[in-house]
Amino acid sequence: MRKTALFFTTLVLSFLFSMEVFAIAFTTTPVSKMMYTTENTQVYTQPDNTLVPVLAAGSGIPVQVTGITSNGWYQIDVSGVYYVPGNELTDTDQPALTSSVPGVIPINRTYQTAVSATVNSEDEMQSLVDQALDMHVYTLSINSRANIFSSTANYIQSLLAGQNGDYSTHSCNGYHLNREKNNYTITFEYLATIEEDQASDAYVQQTAGNLIGGSTKETIRRVHDYICNLTGYSNETVANVADFRSPYDAIVSHQTVCTGYALLFQRYMDALGIPCTTAAGIRNGGPHMWNIVNVDGQWYHIDCTWDDQAAYISNRWFLCGADTAGYSTWGSLTLAPDSLK
């Protein structure tokens, strides 16, 4: 019924948009600055509050403002151009990321666009790469007299292509490594921008407390179902006519592919203190990403992407053990022998 209702909603909206609409006239003055949502910020397709908002956001989510309209609205860039009333954004960061919610671990992640450092060994280089990925560094400039070019490339490749990983490594989409004498430059590419990752962090912090259940299993089920209700699978991305691959896309555009499902689930588990990893590899004949989560000391396969069916939420890939997951070990992890349904 859930997706059926969405289908009929889409039909109604299509009918409304097909009607003749007299849009208000406005001009836009370009600006570029980061602002933050306030309580119940409404997002519209045009700077006109007689229209139906396409999204309501809680406070503390950073958005990129790209313009101010002649009627006092903010033009924002959120995977497309949208508008917010002028009194519903603020220049002041709201306390969403630092607020103390019972049962939710505050995100204390530091973001930095560029880092320069000197290293003297492979171990120092590897530690620096780990920190750079966690800080969402775009450009890592390194000076080193040690001959570590090949080992650096191998280490980064092993992180990004690993069967098991964390949010930082699997949200990185690729890298380029260049060397000129003793100077190394590593340029990282990510599925989301820093601002989009900050917005995702804020959203998870705001909503995770509402998903805590009476047991670890119940909490995991609530997160699993919440994500499946929140987003849908983006066939347009698979067809290369869209690019919805991140947790931010799942939250804001309500469309993503397996990477977005798995990384958003990982973020919730991190916030709730439940051991979890993102798993990457070949499943059902193609590249895929899912999660392996720990319940009472045992590891289980869980796949929000495959459980998010068109008209219902499936239970087939929820906390699968080796008996039903299709594998018994993945990377360094061994699944529980039996599923936990």
- d(Cα 331, Cα 44) in Å, to the nearest integer? 45
**Domain with 206 in it: what CATH number?**
3.10.620.30
Residues of the chain with pLDDT under 50: 1-21, 95-98
- Long-range CB contacts (< 8 A, 24+ apart) of 309-312? 309/3, 310/3, 311/1, 311/2, 311/3, 311/4, 312/1, 312/2, 312/3
DSSP for 21-49? Answer: --PPP--EEEEEEEEEE-TTEEEBSSS-T
- What pLDDT digit, counting tens, does each position of 107-163 carry? 778 888 999 999 999 999 999 999 999 999 999 999 998 889 999 999 999 999 999
Give the structural domain span for 179. 114-190
Name the β-bridge partners of 115. 140
**Domain with 43 in it: what CATH number?**
2.30.30
Residue 232 domain flag: yes
Rounded to 5°, angle at Cα 119 from 115 and 123: 110
Residue 10 domain flag: no
- d(Cα 234, Cα 220) in Å, to the nearest integer? 23
Q: 204 and 306 in one domain? A: yes
Residue 101 domain flag: no
- Long-range CB contacts (< 8 A, 24+ apart) of 210-217? 211/268, 211/272, 212/103, 212/104, 212/272, 216/274, 216/295, 216/296, 217/295, 217/319, 217/340
Q: 232 and 289 in one domain? A: yes
pLDDT at 97: 47
Q: 71 and 59 in one domain? A: yes
Q: 184 and 200 in one domain? A: no
pLDDT at 326: 95
CB 160 within 8 A of CB 169: yes
Final residue of a domain: which of 166, 190, 214? Answer: 190
- What pLDDT digit, counting tens, does each position of 217-239 carry? 999 999 999 999 999 999 999 99
Name the β-bridge partners of 179. 184
Residue 1 domain flag: no
Beta strands 183-190 and 89-90 are unpaired
Residue 253 domain flag: yes
pLDDT at 93: 58
Helix and strand numbers, DSSP H then E, in the chain: 10, 19
Residue 268 domain flag: yes
- d(Cα 222, Cα 174) in Å, to the nearest integer? 32
Domain count, the chain: 3
- d(Cα 293, Cα 266) in Å, to the nearest integer? 9
Final residue of a domain: which of 173, 190, 207? Answer: 190
